[in-house]
Amino acid sequence: MSSTSGKRERASTRRSLPVTVCSLLLFATMVRVDGREWHVFPDSTGDAPFVQAAVDSASDGDLIHLAAGIYPENNVLVRQKSLTIYGDGPNTYAPSINFLGDRSDAYGIVRDLSFDRQEDGAVGFQEMASALVERCIISETEYGIDTWAVQDITNRECLFQNNHHPVDCAVSPSGGAISINGGGLNERYLIESCTFIGNSSSNCAPSSGAGAISIGASHTNSAEIARCLFVGNSCVTGGAIALSGGNSNIHHNLFVANDAQDAVIFEDYFAEGRVYGNVFAHNGTSGIWSFTLGFQCECNLFWRNDSPDPRQFIGRCDRFTGNAPDAILDPLFCGWRDGDYTVAEMSPALLPNLPEEMQGVCDEGIDLGAVEVGCKIVPVIQTSWGAVKSRFGASR
């Protein structure tokens, strides 16, 4: 971890989805109300001199607070304990944290931390009941977040930037930012209101490589990816997302300038799910591609996703079925080349401006791609200089 990293400004997060009653009840039961709180400081003062020392001294249900600063430890291991580790926000640079639950009732919670240039990944979870990572910044790490055999996983309001998965042609999921390995039945994965920028993977395996998120799950597991921003992620196959197995719902995300065979790819004949309310624009090749007929692809907006392969649909859903229409229209970004992904107030991605064929069937209360208004665009009528001079009575 670099000690020269400057102050990082947290990227503006997408508007948060309401937390379901089930999620609230789940995490309320996970946290012990009588757990002790351990305070750790970069200068080794506090209740423990190091993060690992605090973890080793803590008991199930305890909380470990890391004050702002840089923690030079390499890899913190949490073995067979349920802990919450949290910081003071973007200026709390934590070491890699790996939870090794090895028990069906263990949980791990990580909040308000930054992970920068970690060669061992940012956060790992293995064989646990549940894992929660929220309001974290993960940048320039190898592996990002890696999980295996975790029953309930939630990633919320995190920024993933320039992370890379270095494994070439692996058979297991390898996403540049998030890799989820399903190891059980009826697992649930939720990724919401996160931002993924410039992440990549070396994986060339068609069913497991993705620039940002790779999920390998059994047919009983479910994944939801909602209201996230994917920009400039790259891989051989899934530029942003690769999914295999399970029931997946990908909705109200914004995909811009992701570079791969496809922005989103599905690799399982038996997978099910729905892809809806997303905006796919300026991606390197086609928007979505799948081996399966079990997905519904509907209510998406596509614009200038170019595919060099004439056998694929250009900028639209391939091998998908759906009851509601998609549309190929310019979302009217205010300045996507300059990193501004807000849209003009007359954008067809906004509910009041939906194309006629989408009205009444695609207005689920959220703008397509969860876009936000950021500018006004004045319509321009093309004309000639001669016509302008004539209109204003100008003479030669």
Digitized pLDDT (tens) for each residue of the chain, 396 residues in all: 433 333 333 333 333 333 333 443 444 444 444 589 999 999 999 999 999 999 999 999 999 999 999 999 989 999 999 999 999 999 999 999 999 988 889 999 999 999 999 888 899 999 999 999 999 999 999 889 999 999 999 999 999 999 988 876 555 677 889 999 877 778 899 999 999 999 988 765 555 678 888 887 666 788 899 999 999 888 866 678 887 767 888 899 999 988 766 666 665 555 677 888 999 888 876 556 555 556 778 888 988 876 554 333 444 565 556 667 888 899 999 999 899 999 999 999 999 999 998 988 888 889 999 999 999 765 454 556 665 555 555 444
Residue 122 pLDDT:
95
Residue 69 CB contacts under 8 Å (≥ 6 apart), including other chains: 41, 42, 43, 91, 92, 93
Strands (E), 176-303: 178-181, 188-192, 195-197, 200-201, 209-210, 213-216, 222-226, 229-231, 238-244, 247-251, 254-256, 262-266, 272-276, 279-281, 286-290, 295-298, 301-303
Residue 17 pLDDT:
37
Residue 14 pLDDT:
36
Determine the Cα–Cα distance for residues 393 and 27; give it in Å rounded to an integer.
Answer: 73
Determine the Cα–Cα distance for residues 37 and 216; give it in Å rounded to an integer.
Answer: 36
Residue 311 pLDDT:
35
Residue 192 CB contacts under 8 Å (≥ 6 apart), including other chains: 16, 17, 154, 155, 156, 157, 224, 225, 226, 227, 228
Burial class (CB in 10 A: 0-12, 13-18, 19+), 129: middle
Residue 61 pLDDT:
95
pTM for the model: 0.83
